[in-house]
Amino acid sequence: MPEYLKLKSLSDAKKIFWENLSQLHPVEEEIESRAALNRVTFGDILSTESLPPFTRSTVDGYAVIASSTHGASDALPVYLDLVGEVAMGAEAQIKLEGQQTALIHTGGMLPEGADAVVMMEQTQKTDGTSIEVLRPVSAGENIVLKGEDVKPGDVVIPAGTPMRPAEIGGLLGLGITSVKVAKKPRVAILSSGDEVIPPENAPMIGQVRDINSDSLASLVAEAGGSPQVFPIMPDDREKINATLKKAYRSADVVIVTAGSSASTRDMTAEVFDSLGKPGVLVHGINIKPGKPTILAVCDGKPLVGLPGNPVSALVIANLIVKPLIQRMLGLAHHRFQPVIEARLTVNLPSQAGRDEYFPVRIFRRQNHCTADPIFYKSNLIFSLVRADGMVHIPPEKTGVPAGETVEVILF
Amino acid sequence: MPEYLKLKSLSDAKKIFWENLSQLHPVEEEIESRAALNRVTFGDILSTESLPPFTRSTVDGYAVIASSTHGASDALPVYLDLVGEVAMGAEAQIKLEGQQTALIHTGGMLPEGADAVVMMEQTQKTDGTSIEVLRPVSAGENIVLKGEDVKPGDVVIPAGTPMRPAEIGGLLGLGITSVKVAKKPRVAILSSGDEVIPPENAPMIGQVRDINSDSLASLVAEAGGSPQVFPIMPDDREKINATLKKAYRSADVVIVTAGSSASTRDMTAEVFDSLGKPGVLVHGINIKPGKPTILAVCDGKPLVGLPGNPVSALVIANLIVKPLIQRMLGLAHHRFQPVIEARLTVNLPSQAGRDEYFPVRIFRRQNHCTADPIFYKSNLIFSLVRADGMVHIPPEKTGVPAGETVEVILF
């Protein structure tokens, strides 16, 4: 059977992979809230209290009974009796009646009886026992009510939310000092190839330094996983078998850059098949770059064979490994993800029936952006270094003409 | 003098702050390349070698002298003599002449004499000593030349570049296993307020938990700084003076959430002034939220007094602290930053002469996005938790009508 008939489309490949991973759920872990930046909430976070915990002033000024300021103006100020000052960090001891007022600071607790605050700038001091109010206020003005932000039982952060500085502040404001988040999936990364040597070593003629282990580890870390880099494997069935088994036992996901030769990729697929059921689901995707991709699920655990060349490996990792990790984190798309549109600067021919991805640089023009494709051969890692993102040409197209607007996936 | 006359515009405030920080340069630090994700290159990174280090095949197939395949077709294949196989990870020992060919794997070193590779799929095996070539190839086809990606002396990553997985892979591919990056600026974070207690403690009536220390620490970490959180300071001149001096000595940047009361803010400004020259440059910005912001430079070191309320503090930290850290990292904008545009769902009134920022949620519609403002009072941290970003209304406008397209700054 010719190879192209065995190749799956990217969408079919992802579909069958996700279907076989339907039992893959986030695992919970409790961590300190202040260390939770970019972690994803495991469940809904509920408040057990009110925020603010008491009615507070939002300005520096004078607490009043709003009705007492009625009709106040520059020409005809209202005089109020100054009965004291609300101390910060303490229960307001003052109780206001009628034409009484009390000095209050931003964040201070509104005294009993008061229902508004007059801003300092709209008052004038007189003799120290009274003030002049130059503008009327309405009930509720310049205050924030107890529980106005959050009430007990409110879902303050839904499950599957990645935490930003605001979420961390919100948790701590409620006294939630530890939080249940999705555990980072452990992702084993294995590189193979007789010609591949550790980056620390000086290559002999015919050898190349390992790029994939650390570029993939960085991508995994960026996506929210915990990378575990294994030593480079030679193109040897026994070594590949032993290392892969070890990785499969210790990690939640196994990624193999499946060597440069077809025979090593076949060995990888055979070992995947031996680890559990159903085994290899996809062996080859009709995509450029990235055709020799292998997707397997063994007893519920995902295994990915990536192409050996570094550009293809990173492109497929962006398209498959990153969403896989996000799924294992339970990431729900609560956050808006920007779509970047740009006009192609040149014609991009592509082969019908195949998904193609082109690295591009983006430039901002007057009213639009342009996407300038970086032409490259597939093992040129620096073509990706020069790129801001990639343009996708779907299988039903035979290319995109210059000037057309395309969507860009940022790296 | 009325307060609004003392307030600086946001652009003036930033201008005078940056001008006084002209001597602020990144500090270099050498780290392992594989741990350099998101770090910023200190200087230009130059290659000392060629990548690829030798001319390689980009496919599985047969190395050939291109001219020998001239005229090949299914009907009239060209027969070539198979003289051997190029071993991976070793120097090619074979030398091709005339009608000779050698089996080669993806990434294998092109043998001497050869100038192209015929893909396996475009050949047929015959008796083991020769092959049939079904398509002609041109010189250079299916190979990548030595130095085609990078040559010795090429700037492979310019100074000021934040490193992504591709950059890390590129460095390691060149054997650059350690890299000079900008040291993370140490950012001291001090919260003050008699009413402010650590988030671990149960608040008494009138007390609130500290939100700012950890939300700002998260923002600093996200921006690439190294946060150092100090214990909460009471509204007491001696304590503020002592803690601020200590922070000033130990950190590269000092941030104080300057307490809730005007008197504490004044104390903060006075201590800033006592630390070095020129001292306080900006005391109050004509912006909402964030008016009570203090910017100071003392003997070349930046100090920022942020408003006590958590929303204002985070908004100003996004507008001033984040760019400050990026400047200290030497971040040059090599990377494309997306601009998010959305149509306002409601009228947003704003005060002429003042910069205003409104938190918004963004929703994707058919052909555009909408920005839905979240109305809030300034101390409601969860209004930011609900937001995707913020909309800026510049001082020359008195608001933006519903339906107008605005730019959104993502958090």
CB contact under 8 A, B106 and A168: no
Domain check: are B299 and B379 in the same one? no
Name which of A39, A87, A76 is nearest A223 in CA terms. Answer: A39
Domain check: are A272 and A170 in the same one? no
Closest residue of chain B to A143, computed from CA coordinates:
B377
Domain check: are B199 and B281 in the same one? yes
Domain check: are A209 and A118 in the same one? no
Q: Is A266 on the interface with B (CB under 8 A)?
A: no
CATH code for the domain in which residue A229 is found: 3.40.980.10
Domain check: are B135 and B155 in the same one? no
| Chain A hits for B173, Cβ within 8 Å | 199, 208-209, 211, 310, 381
Measured CA to CA, the distance from residue A357 to residue A289 in angstroms comes to 7
One-letter amino acid at A117 equals: V
B135: exposed, middle or buried (Cβ count in 10 Å: 0-12, 13-18, 19+): middle
3-state secondary structure of A258: coil
Domain check: are A92 and A118 in the same one? yes
CB B401 within 8 A of CB A80: no
Amino acid B27: pLDDT: 98
Domain check: are A355 and A398 in the same one? yes
CB contact under 8 A, A109 and B364: no
Name which of B314, B198, B382 is nearest A165 in CA terms. Answer: B314
Give 3-state DSSP helix, strand, coil % of chain A, rounded to 5.
25, 30, 45
E-assigned strand segments in A284-321: 287-288, 294-298, 301-306
Closest residue of chain A to B2, computed from CA coordinates:
A121
Is there a domain that residue B334 lies in?
no
Q: Among B105, B205, B411, whose Cβ lies nearest the Cβ of A54?
A: B205
CA distance A98 to chain B (A): 24
CB A230 within 8 A of CB A188: yes
Q: Is A150 on the interface with B (CB under 8 A)?
A: yes
| Chain A hits for B335, Cβ within 8 Å | 388
| Chain B hits for A56, Cβ within 8 Å | 379
Domain check: are A303 and A402 in the same one? no
Where among A297, A328, A359 does a domain terminate? A328
Is there a domain that residue B335 lies in?
no
Closest residue of chain A to B196, computed from CA coordinates:
A89
3-state secondary structure of B272: helix
Measured CA to CA, the distance from residue B128 to residue A273 in angstroms comes to 31
Measured CA to CA, the distance from residue B211 to residue B191 in angstroms comes to 9
| Chain A hits for B197, Cβ within 8 Å | 89
Q: Is A106 on the interface with B (CB under 8 A)?
A: yes
| Chain A hits for B169, Cβ within 8 Å | 211-212, 214-215, 218, 310, 314, 381, 384
CATH code for the domain in which residue A153 is found: 3.90.105.10
Pairing state between β B196-197 and B208-209: parallel
CB B358 within 8 A of CB B348: yes
CB A395 within 8 A of CB A368: no
Measured CA to CA, the distance from residue B376 to residue B361 in angstroms comes to 13
Residue A37 dihedral angles phi and psi, to the nearest 5°? -55, 130
Name A298's bridge partners: A278, A301
Domain check: are A231 and A219 in the same one? yes
CB contact under 8 A, B261 and A208: no
CATH code for the domain in which residue A355 is found: 2.40.340.10
One-letter amino acid at B91 equals: E
Domain check: are A71 and A167 in the same one? no
| Chain B hits for A203, Cβ within 8 Å | 53, 175
Residue A207 dihedral angles phi and psi, to the nearest 5°? -100, 155
Amino acid B1: pLDDT: 45
How many folded domains does chain B comprise? 4
3-state secondary structure of A232: coil
Best of B377, B378, B408 to mutate (most A CBs within 10 Å, chain A): B377
Residues of chain B scoring pLDDT < 50:
1
Residue A365 dihedral angles phi and psi, to the nearest 5°? -105, -170
CB contact under 8 A, A156 and B385: yes
Domain check: are B138 and B190 in the same one? no
Residue B380 dihedral angles phi and psi, to the nearest 5°? -95, 90
Q: Among B165, B202, B377, whose Cβ lies nearest the Cβ of A219?
A: B165
Is there a domain that residue B305 lies in?
yes
Residues whose CB is less than 8 angstroms from the CB of residue B366 and which lie 6 or more positions away in sequence, other chains included: none
CB contact under 8 A, B380 and A164: no
Amino acid B91: pLDDT: 79
Closest residue of chain B to A57, computed from CA coordinates:
B379
Amino acid B125: pLDDT: 87
Name B373's bridge partners: B360
Half-sphere exposure of B25 (CA within 13 A, CB side): 7
Where among B119, B144, B169 does a domain terminate? B144
Where among B92, B114, B144 does a domain terminate? B144
3-state secondary structure of B124: strand
Residues whose CB is less than 8 angstroms from the CB of residue A11 and which lie 6 or more positions away in sequence, other chains included: none
Domain check: are A159 and A197 in the same one? no
Q: How do residues A3-21 score in pLDDT, each as one tens digit?
A: 555 799 999 999 999 999 9
The pTM for the full model equals 0.91
Half-sphere exposure of A337 (CA within 13 A, CB side): 9
Tokens at B256, concatenated: 């104080």
Interface of A with B in 174-193 (CB under 8 A): 174-175, 177, 193
Measured CA to CA, the distance from residue B320 to residue B403 in angstroms comes to 29
CB contact under 8 A, B168 and A214: yes
| Chain A hits for B366, Cβ within 8 Å | none
E-assigned strand segments in A26-71: 28-32, 45-46, 56-57, 61-64
| Chain A hits for B2, Cβ within 8 Å | 121
Amino acid B52: pLDDT: 86
Amino acid A1: pLDDT: 45
Q: How do residues A320-334 score in pLDDT, each as one tens digit?
A: 999 999 999 999 866
Supply the ipTM of this predicted assembly. Answer: 0.90
Residues of chain A scoring pLDDT < 50:
1
Q: Among A54, A105, A364, whose Cβ lies nearest the Cβ of B260?
A: A105
Is there a domain that residue A333 lies in?
no
Cα distances (Å, whole numbers) of residue B24 to B12, B182, B254, B299: 19, 12, 14, 11
Quote the domain boundaries for residue A346: 340-410
CB contact under 8 A, B54 and A206: yes
| Chain A hits for B207, Cβ within 8 Å | 89
Helix/strand/coil (H, E, C) string of A344-397? ECCCEECCCCCEEEEEEEEEECCCCEEEEECCCCCCCHHHHHCCCEEEEECCCC
Is there a domain that residue A299 lies in?
yes
Pairing state between β A355-364 and A287-288: parallel
Q: Among B54, B205, B317, whose Cβ lies nearest the Cβ of A205?
A: B54
Other CB atoms within a 10 A radius of the CB of residue A306 amount to: 28
Q: What dihedral do alpha carbons B50, B52, B53, B55 form, nearest 10°?
A: -120
Cα distances (Å, whole numbers) of residue A115 to A65, A82, A141, B60, B390: 5, 16, 8, 80, 31
Q: Is A339 on the interface with B (CB under 8 A)?
A: yes
Amino acid B153: pLDDT: 96
